[in-house]
Structure 1
C-alpha cells in the first residue's frame, strides 16, 4: 500500500492537516516541524498524490510547452530556463512539437486543455491574433516566446532581433566589408524580417548601398536552407565578402557549400550566424554569431505564466518583454580580401 499523509501524521504525532501544510512549506508551520515531517516522509518513501491534490485545488501542476521542432538546438537552453523556473515553483511540464503546422498547434493546445494543463508556453511559432483568441477560448493562460506573427500577442517575450541584425552587420562593416549579403529564412516570419531590418539599418548608417541582389532567403532555417542560400549567392557575378545568416544552423550550411566551391572562410568570405547554439563554437572556423539570451527567454516566459496563474498579473493587460543579446565574435569573420572581391565561376 502507498504511504499516505495519515501514516506520516501518526508517526510524527501531529494532525494530517499539519503534515499537509508542512509538506507544502506553509509559513505557519515551525521550520523544525517542517524538517521533521519531511524527514519522516522521505524515510517512508512518501510520494504526493498529485491527482488528489489537483481535485482540491483545480490545478494539475503541469504546464504545456510547444516548440517548432524538438531537435532544434536553439530550444535546449530555452527549455532549461522554462524547466528550472517551473520546477522551483512546483510545476512540471510536458513538451510537444508543432512542426510549424498551425492546425497541429491548435490541436495540441486543445488536447493540453482537455488534460487540464494549467498554462501553455508556445516557442517561436507563427501565432496570429486570430489563433491567440482561439487559444484563449480554451481558458488556458498562454505566453508566447519570439512569436513570428506580425501582430504582438498580449503576453509575449521577444528578443530584439533588429538590434541583433544590426550588430552582426555593423561588425562586418567595422572590419572593412562593403558588399555584405543577408541570408534570411523564408519561413522565419517576423524574426527574419526584423533581422533584415537591422541589416539594412547598419548599411544605411554606414552610407553603404543596399543591393537587393545580395538579399536572398533559404527555404527554411536548417543547414539545407543555408546551403541553398549559399548556392544562390554563388550564382551572382561577384560573391559578397560577408554573409549575415538568419541563424547558426544556416550559417553552417553556408560554410559547407562555400568550402565545396573553394571559397575560404574568412579569407575570401566572412560568415556570421545568429543564436550562439553550442555547436557554433566547434565548427571550423568557429562561428561569429549573436548570442541570444536563450535561458533568460525561457525563464522570463515561465515567470510571466506563473504570474498569470497566481493572479499577480492582470490577464487582460498586455505584458510584452523584450530582451537583448550580444555579439559573439569568433574566427569566421575577418577583414575582406585585399582585392575586395571573389569572382565566381559562371
Structure 2
C-alpha cells in the first residue's frame, strides 16, 4: 500500500500539518524539522498526490493536447513545440489522438474536462464544435492548433494555407506543367480546401484556366496508403504531368505509385507535398514540399493557452497566422 502523509507524520514524530508545510511551504518549517520529515519521506518511499492537491487549489499542472492524426509526423513536431513550453513552465501534457473521428474527439474532451486540465489545445475535426464551445463557457481555456476560427472566441495558431497553395501552383506552372492533379483529403477540412484555392489562384494568375489545368482527386483521409491506392490507376503517359498533394504522406504514397509503375520523377511526373516532414527529404526521390513551422505552431499555441490560464480577465484572444515557405528538392 502506498504510504500516506499520516504515515510520514508518524514516522517523523510531527503533525500532519507540519508534513504539509514541508511539501508546500518549506520556508515555514525549521531546517532541522524539515530535514527530519524529508528523511521520513525517503525511508517510506512516500509520493505526494499532486492531483488531489491541485484539484483542491484549482490549479492543475496538466494541459490537454488533442491532435487530428498522431500517425502524421506533422503532429509529432507540433506536440514537441507544445511540450517544450509546458516543460519549461512546469506543466505535463496529456496527448490524445482523435484519429480524424469526431466521436473520439468528443470523448477525449469529456475526459480532459473530468480530469480538470488547466486548458486544452486541439486540432479539431470540425472548427465549429458545440462541445468545444461548451467547454469554453464552463471556464476551460482552449486554443485551436493548425486551425483558424473566424468567430475569434478563442486563440488560434495556423498557417496561411491559401498562400501555401499559391506557392505550390506558382512553382509547378513555372516548370511548364499544364495538367496538375491535386490529391486532397476531404475538402470539408479547411486546410485541404484552402490549399486548393491557392493552387487555382496561382494557375489563374498565370493566365490559365484552373478548370482545364487542375484535376481534383478527393480522398477520405490524408494517409500514404490511400495516396498510393488512388494514384496507381491514374498514372500514365497521357495523364497529368504534376501532382500537388495536400500533405507529405499523400505525396509519399503518390511517389511510391509512380516508381512502382516505372515512371520517372520528375521526368514523367513532378510531385509536390505539403508540411515538409522529416521523411520528405529522405524519400527515394527527395520530395519538394511546402514547409510549415510546425514546432513554432506548437510553441505559440502553448504560450497563448498559458497566458489565458494565468490572466483570463485581461487576456485578449489572438489569431496567429504563419506564412509557409517552399522547399524545392528533386521531385519537381
Q: Report the TM range for the smaller structure's normalisation.
A: 0.7 to 0.9
Please name the residue that 2:325 is paired with: 326
CA offsets 1:298-337 (integer angstroms, 9 cap, x no match): 111101110110016746x54211112211111101xxxx
Task: Tell me which residue corresponds to 1:142.
Answer: 142
Separation in 2, partners of 1:260, 1:199: 27
User: Take 1:310 and 1:175, find their aligned partners in 2: how far apart are those partners?
Assistant: 51
SS in structure 2 of the partner of residue 158 of structure 1: strand
Which TM-score applies when normalising by structure 1?
0.79
Give the Cα separation in 1 of the matches to 2:167 and 2:313.
34
Residue 207 of structure 2 aligns with which residue?
207
CA contact (8 A) 2:161 2:195 kept: yes
Question: Where do residues 113-262 of structure 1 align in structure 2 (5 Å cutoff)?
Answer: 113-147=113-147, 154-186=154-186, 189-211=189-211, 214-231=215-232, 233-234=234-235, 238-262=238-262
Gaps of 5+ in 2: none
* Structure 1 residue aligned with 2:99: 99
Could you say if the C-alpha distance between residues 160 and 306 of structure 1 is closer, same or farther in structure 2, counting changes exceeding 3 Å? same
So what's the TM-score if we normalise by structure 2? 0.82
**Structure 2 residue aligned with 1:29:** none
Q: Distance in 1 between matches of 2:323 and 2:183?
A: 21
**Aligned match of 1:279:** 279
After superposition, the CA RMSD in angstroms is: 3.3
User: Once the two structures are superposed, what CA deviation does each residue of 1:17-66 show, in whole Å capped at 9, x if it has no partner?
Assistant: 6984679xxxxxxxxx9xxx9xx99x969966523541452112111111
Structure 1: runs of 5 or more not aligned: 24-32, 334-346
CA distance in 1 between counterparts of 2:86 and 2:177 reads: 45
State the alpha-carbon separation in 2 of the partners of residues 255 and 19 from structure 1.
57
Contact persistence 2:80–2:295 (CA under 8 A) = yes
Q: CA deviation at 1:130?
A: 3.0
Match of 1:305 in 2: 305
Shift of 1:70: 2.3
SS in 2 for 1:330: coil
The verdict on how the C-alpha distance between 1:71 and 1:215 changes in structure 2, with shifts beyond 3 A counting, is closer
